[in-house]
Amino acid sequence: MADTKEFVAVVDSNAKKSPRRIVFITRRTSAQVKTETEDQVQTFPEVLFRAAIAIQVLTIVLVWTSLIFNAPLEGLADPSHTPNPAKAPWYFLGLQEMLHYFPPVVAGVLAPGLVVMALIVIPYFKVNIEAEGFFTKDRERRLRIFYAVAAVLVVFLGTFHVIVAMVPTLIMAGLMLLASQSSAQSPSAFRRYLAAKPLSYWVMTWFLLELMVLTAIGTFFRGPGWSWVLPWKAY
């Protein structure tokens, strides 16, 4: 839809009386407006009421949760008694789990820093803006790159004995292999789905899976001395 309107920069004859104002509307800037033929509804009342309902339902759930479950409170902070294990809040336990394997610079600084950087640059990263399947074009070369990257990742994780992070990596690698063998014409809907997924999808899903696995392990499966425990067994 490259129906950008043409604007003409008009120069006023008397620049001192009225300031010169030049407007540039280029492609894909914020002020881009596209014609829509789709059905629309008024925000008021349709959207607002729905939003209100959503927030109310959420509040109801949280109120009942708070009536039934009490927030944890432990003993007075005591710098001389380190609890074992000393755990960060749950959303940092993925990081803490990584700290168990990698030096702090890697796990604590490099990895989260790179993740935040990656998240920020995602929309500006114009590779494959059309978001077509990763293996639809240039399949051989991309397969080779995929093999190389997957092998490097597995070896890297292997050297640090990060078995827990290797499992999601291998699952994702397997799915990507399956995607490379599929196309839009594949008989199974799942394979057609995989074949249509772009690189960003694969990277993000790998990240999501790692995040969930590491956080879950850090939360439920780690006991004294960051040793492996089962969540249903008291330590």
Partner 1 sequence: MAKTADQYFDDLRETRVWRSIFRSGTGASTLKRALAIQQNVFLHLFSTKVRTRMLSFSATWYLGTLTLGTFFILVATGIPLMLYYHPSVPQAYYDTKDLQFVVSSGLFLRNLHRWSAHAMVFLVFAHMFKVFYRGAYRTPREFNWVIGVILLLITLLLSYTGYLLPWDQLAYWAITVGSNIASAVPLIGNKIHFLLLGGNSVNANALLRFYVLHCMILPLTAIFFVAIHFWRIRKDGGLYAQSSEPAVLRSRPVASEKEAQ
Partner 2 sequence: MKHWATSLWQKLFGDSVRAFGVVSIVFLFSIAIAPAKNHFSEWRHYQHGYLKMIRNRSDANTLQRHFDGGIQQIWLPEIGVVDRCTSCHVGMKEGTLRDVSSQPYRPHPVIPHKLDQFGCTMCHRGQGAATTVAEAHNSTLAWEQPILPAKYIESSCGECHRGSLPGTPVLNQGRKLLSRYGCVNCHLVRLPDGTTIKATDAPPSLSHIADKTPREWIYAWLKDPQAYAATSSMPNFQLSDADARDISAFLIANSTPLAGDTATLSAKPSSDPAAGASLYGESFCASCHAVTNAAGNVVGGDVGPELTRVGSKVKPEWLHAWLQNPRRYDPGTGMPHYRFNDREVATLSTFLLGKTDSDLLSNVHLDPATPEQIAHGKRLVSDYGCASCHEIAGIKKPENFAPELSRIGSKSITQLIFLPGMSHTLPDYIAGKIKQPRAFSPALRMPQYSFTTSQIDAVTTALLALNDRSTSLPPSLTVPAAAESNYQPAGKAGKLMADLACFSCHRINGRGGDMAPDLTWEGSSVQREWLVQFFKNPGTLRPALIRRMPRFNVSDSEANELADYILTVYQNPIIDRDFVPPGDDSQGEIELGRQLFYGKYSCQGCHIVETKTDKGYIGPTLTHVGSRLTAAWLYQWMKNPQALRPGTIEPNRAMSDEDARALTAFLVSQKGVAPKEVEKK
Q: Which is nearer to partner 1, 76 or 155 (CB)?
A: 76
Question: Interaction with partner 1 in 80-139: which residues (CB under 8 A)?
Answer: 81-83, 86-92, 95-96, 99, 103-105, 108-109, 116, 119-120, 122-124, 129-132
Distance CA 219, CA 214 (A): 8
Work out the angle at residue 203's Cα, subtended by the Cα atoms of residues 198 and 204, and round it to the nearest 5 degrees. 95
HSE, side-chain direction, 13 A CA sphere, residue 67: 6
Q: Which range touches partner 1 (CB under 8 A), out of 16-24, 59-67, 139-147, 154-162? A: 59-67
Task: Name the 3-class secondary structure at 210.
Answer: helix
Q: Determine phi and psi for 222, rounding to 5 degrees.
A: -120, 130
Q: Total residues contacting partner 1 (rule CB under 8 A)? A: 79
Question: Interaction with partner 1 in 16-45: which residues (CB under 8 A)?
Answer: 28-34, 36, 38-45
Structural contact between residues 213 and 168, judged by C-beta atoms closer than 8 angstroms: yes
C-alpha separations of 115 from 30, 108, 119, 201, 232 in Å: 26, 11, 6, 15, 32
Query: Please, what is the minimum distance in Å from the beta carbon of residue 16 to partner 1?
Result: 33
**Residue 225 binding target from partner 1, partner 2, none, CB below 5 to 8 Å by type:** none
Sign, CA dihedral 35-39-44-49, equals negative
235 binding partner 2? (CB under 8 A): no
Query: Please, what is the minimum distance in Å from the beta carbon of residue 41 to partner 2?
Result: 10
Distance CA 191, CA 177 (A): 11
Query: Please, what is the minimum distance in Å from the beta carbon of residue 38 to partner 2?
Result: 20
Question: Interaction with partner 2 in 41-60: which residues (CB under 8 A)?
Answer: 45-46, 49-50, 52-53, 56-57, 59-60
204 binding partner 1? (CB under 8 A): yes
How many residues comprise the chain? 235
129 binding partner 2? (CB under 8 A): no
Question: Interaction with partner 1 in 144-183: which residues (CB under 8 A)?
Answer: none
Distance CA 164, CA 210 (A): 9
Residues that bind partner 2 (CB under 8 A): 45-46, 49-50, 52-53, 56-57, 59-60, 63-64, 66-67, 72-75, 78, 81, 83-84
